[in-house]
Amino acid sequence: MGSFDCRYDLIGRGKSGWHAAGVVFEFGRFSSVSSSGGAFKGYVESANEGALVYDADGADEDAFITLVFKGPMCKPGLPPGTVKRFSLEERKAAVSMLPGLSGGFADLAAMALAGLSSLDEVAVDVYEACLRAVPGMKIGHVRNGSVEWEG
């Protein structure tokens, strides 16, 4: 059996609690991992130094919801500055899958086909720039095992 060592690069609170995302080294390779509903303290204890932390509790709700549903997904592990667009090949796969999809999955596939960016993936620093555009968003970083909030 392989080893399991998860370190979070993103910790956030949206409108329904805390969640975290990072990279895990398991079975000899790196994979993305995410968690929701956990304790803030536990996420911080498992975070990499410098991990991005955001709190949308006091943020403009309309702007935050727009980012969540229309903005890109954060993919820890991508090199800084990276934007990975939902590719033409992936769009073709989505077209072939549409008849078998339902609910939110069908909506996401249809939006991606319409050229929206909700299925694009971005590095943590790019996602941070997106979060900064939301009025009232609280931003911080993990430093020495605790969160240093800005301003």
* Per-residue pLDDT of the chain in tens (151 residues, 90 and over written 9): 344 567 899 999 998 889 999 877 666 666 777 888 888 999 999 999 999 999 999 999 998 998 888 888 899 989 998 888 776 666 666 656 666 666 555 555 555 554 446 778 889 999 999 899 999 999 999 999 999 999 8
| Cα 33 from Cα 13, distance rounded (Å) | 17
| Cα 54 from Cα 9, distance rounded (Å) | 11
Full-model pTM: 0.76
Residues 13-47 as b/e (b if ≥16 CB within 10 A, e otherwise) read bbeeebbbbbbbeeeeeeeebebeeeeeeebbebb
